[in-house]
Structure 1
Amino acid sequence: MNNVSILSIDLAKNVFQLLGIDQSGKSCLSKRLSRAKLHEALFNLPACEVVMEACSSSHYWGRVCLSAGHQVHLIPAQHVTPFVRGNKNDKNDCMAIYEASRRPNIRFVPVKTEQQQAILILHRMRERALASRTACINQTRSLLLEFGIHIPKAYSIFKQNIHELLSESIQPVIRLMLLEVHEELEGYDKRIRLLDSLFRQSNAQNSSAGIMQSIPGVGPIIASAFSASIDKGQAFKCAKDFSVWLGLTPKQYASGEISRLSGITKRGDCYLRKQLIHGARTVVSHAHKKDDDLNRWITALKQRRGVNKAIVATAHRLARLMWILLQKNEFYRPMFNNTVEKHA
């Protein structure tokens, strides 16, 4: 094991496959280890470069490798798949991870800290609470329709109608259902408010989140999610790379003299993209009330291309603006140059 220069690890739940490559590029180690044995092997191995696929538990093992003195590179899973040769097995996966890591244009995933992953756990909890609340509302609306009772979709109106129905004379079973639904919704609301307060507390101690929140349309939830996912955006060389990673740029099909652009690629983290588009929707809906360069550009774009395309283009612009301000470590300041930019 002393000859290992690059260690490729195929991660799993219980059993891990290791492939060691020496300085001449030849295989010098091939082992299958349990979870406990992997800990021991990493700390006994001389400092080397460790490459892994960015998947479940990869950030934990990345922190373990860093604490053992190794250099860690996490590779996006979609960049590893093309290098798998032969049958699908752990040894071939290890070789594919190694080969992908040698490509010159691979963008590695930074290892997240425990604090960053803790914040992302809170976001997953909030998403689950919102999904459960929506499922509860949809089921209740469909059941009430069986009795000719129609309630609109909007959450505030739904709760108001529930209160009105409980004050009327209705069947005991329906009353029991509505009481349980009311109690369940109150529990979801309480949980969501708690999580939102935790986001605000973490943002108050995070300079990156403070910079993001100065941007129009970026609130505590968006700032918290992005700061936990990208930190200061150091994994990206430019603002364009960041927007491409978010999936906010058009798909391109080019061959010879033919080049076509279609809808956005939707690559990357769908949660971050969704939140940013929601924030952009708010900016677009209030753009006509303001007179700075950004809002005048949005208003002109909305008139020229329609609301939905203006929302996506605004999200794209906010993403680029976010990366630029993080690199400059500056807060957003509206610009008033009396000119409307023509490009997103």
Structure 2
Amino acid sequence: MSESALIGIDLGKHSFYLHGQDESGREVFRKKFSRPQMMYFFGNLPSCVVVMEACAGAHFVVRQLTSMGHTAKLISPQFVRPFVKGNKNDFVDAEAICEAASRPSMRFVTPKTEAQQTLSVLHRMRESLVHDRTKIANQMHGFLLEFGVSLPKGLAIMRRLASALAERELPVRLTVLLQRLHDHFVYLDEQIKAFDKELAGQLAGDDLGSRLLSLPCVGPITASLLAVEMGDGQRYRCSRDFAASVGLVPRQYSTGGKANLLGISKRGDKHLLQLLVQCARVYMQRLEHQKGALADWVRSLLSRRHFNVVACALANKLARIAWAIAAHHTQYEAGPDALNA
């Protein structure tokens, strides 16, 4: 078998399809492996460039191949799709990965470390628990409304549901069922508080996370997720690139020399986008207590733009300031420099 300069892998759960090519782009081999077979194959292969799509399990494979001395890269699936020739199959996908990776202007995804992936799992578990807690609360509201009981909005009333039910004359069987739902709600609430406590403890020992907490209206959850997604900020050329990766810059549909800007692109991590916009909304709700150049800038925008538009613009600004804090090893200061960070 001739020496390969570039190998593309179409990742699967159990089967992996490899396409190898030399420096001129000529196909050298096509192979199908199981996971142990693939690792044995690369363990006996001279160092080369290996590229795969950034999908489930990709970061682990990258770390394994890097430890073997190979140069492993991740590429976004959306950049591979245009290079698929003819009908789609696994070997054609692996060839398309090689074709996309050979482009000199191609952008690659930075692999995550084990610590970053573990923290990402924690965030996703917490988000799932919050979703389940909200679902249980809405169910209890709906069930009680069927029996003429209308409770106030919010989670506070759910936490003291037993006392609220004692004031009503409800069927005994219904009370028992609602109590079972309430016990599940309490369990979810305790788990979410435990996750919040764990996140706060991790940030206490993290230099970047502690500095990101200096951002206005940014709490432990947003700060830790920013630290995971951004790292040291060096993989982004500037603050705009990071804001674009989160999806906080306008989409373009320009042609004929005429620029046409649409709404924000909403690319990247939707959870991080949601948290940044929520931080911006909280900042704007407490605007009368805010000082400095950033607050003056927000007041100026609110005088001529809709509240939601300003919220997205402020979220963009917070993302840029967060990148400046990470890339330049600084801390947020509510002064004139904060606006230009």
TM-score range, shorter chain: over 0.9
Pair 1:136-2:136 in alignment: yes
Please tell me whether the aligned partners of residues 230 and 323 of structure 2 are also in contact (alpha carbons under 8 angstroms): no
Residues 219-259 of structure 1: CA deviation (Å, up to 9, x unaligned): 11011112122212222111111111111111212111322
Residues 187-207 of structure 1: CA deviation (Å, up to 9, x unaligned): 111100111111112222222
Shift of 1:2: 6.0
The normalised TM-score by structure 2 is: 0.95
Shift of 1:161: 5.1
Residues 36-62 of structure 1: CA deviation (Å, up to 9, x unaligned): 101111211111111010000000100
The corresponding residue for 1:29 is 29
Residues 156-185 of structure 1: CA deviation (Å, up to 9, x unaligned): 234345532234442112211231122111
The corresponding residue for 1:182 is 182
Shift of 1:32: 0.4
Task: Report matched runs for 1:69-148 at 5 Å.
Answer: 69-148=69-148
Q: Distance in 2 between matches of 1:238 and 1:330?
A: 15
Shift of 1:306: 2.4
The corresponding residue for 1:205 is 205
Counterpart code for 1:48: C
Counterpart code for 1:292: G
Q: Distance in 2 between matches of 1:166 and 1:245?
A: 51
The corresponding residue for 2:329 is 329
For structure 2, the residue ranges without an aligned partner over 5 or more in a row are none
The normalised TM-score by structure 1 is: 0.94
Task: Report matched runs for 1:53-72 at 5 Å.
Answer: 53-72=53-72
Shift of 1:298: 1.1
Q: Distance in 2 between matches of 1:333 and 1:230?
A: 20
The corresponding residue for 2:252 is 252
Q: Distance in 2 between matches of 1:293 and 1:82?
A: 45
Please tell me whether the aligned partners of residues 8 and 95 of structure 1 are also in contact (alpha carbons under 8 angstroms): yes
Q: Which moved more, 1:177-186 or 1:306-315?
A: 177-186
Shift of 1:148: 1.2
Pair 1:288-2:288 in alignment: yes
Q: Distance in 2 between matches of 1:310 and 1:100?
A: 38
Q: Distance in 1 between matches of 2:168 and 2:5?
A: 75
Q: Distance in 2 between matches of 1:186 and 1:84?
A: 50
Q: Distance in 1 between matches of 2:304 and 2:160?
A: 39
Pair 1:170-2:176 in alignment: no
The corresponding residue for 2:43 is 43
Counterpart code for 2:222: I
Give percent identity, aligned residues only: 37
Residues 4-35 of structure 1: CA deviation (Å, up to 9, x unaligned): 11111110001100111112221112100011
SS in 2 for 1:258: coil
Counterpart code for 1:245: S
Counterpart code for 1:129: L
Counterpart code for 1:269: D
The corresponding residue for 1:3 is 3
Please tell me whether the aligned partners of residues 151 and 161 of structure 1 are also in contact (alpha carbons under 8 angstroms): no
Q: Distance in 2 between matches of 1:166 and 1:126?
A: 32
The corresponding residue for 2:268 is 268
Pair 1:242-2:242 in alignment: yes
Counterpart code for 1:97: I
Q: How many residues align?
A: 341
Residues 112-145 of structure 1: CA deviation (Å, up to 9, x unaligned): 1111111111111101101111111111111111
Please tell me whether the aligned partners of residues 109 and 235 of structure 1 are also in contact (alpha carbons under 8 angstroms): no
The 3 A distance-change label for structure 1 pair 169 and 149 is: closer
Q: CA RMSD in A?
A: 1.9
Q: Distance in 2 between matches of 1:17 and 1:210?
A: 43
Q: Distance in 1 between matches of 2:315 and 2:15?
A: 42
For structure 1, the residue ranges without an aligned partner over 5 or more in a row are none
Q: Distance in 1 between matches of 2:198 and 2:42?
A: 35
The 3 A distance-change label for structure 1 pair 166 and 42 is: farther
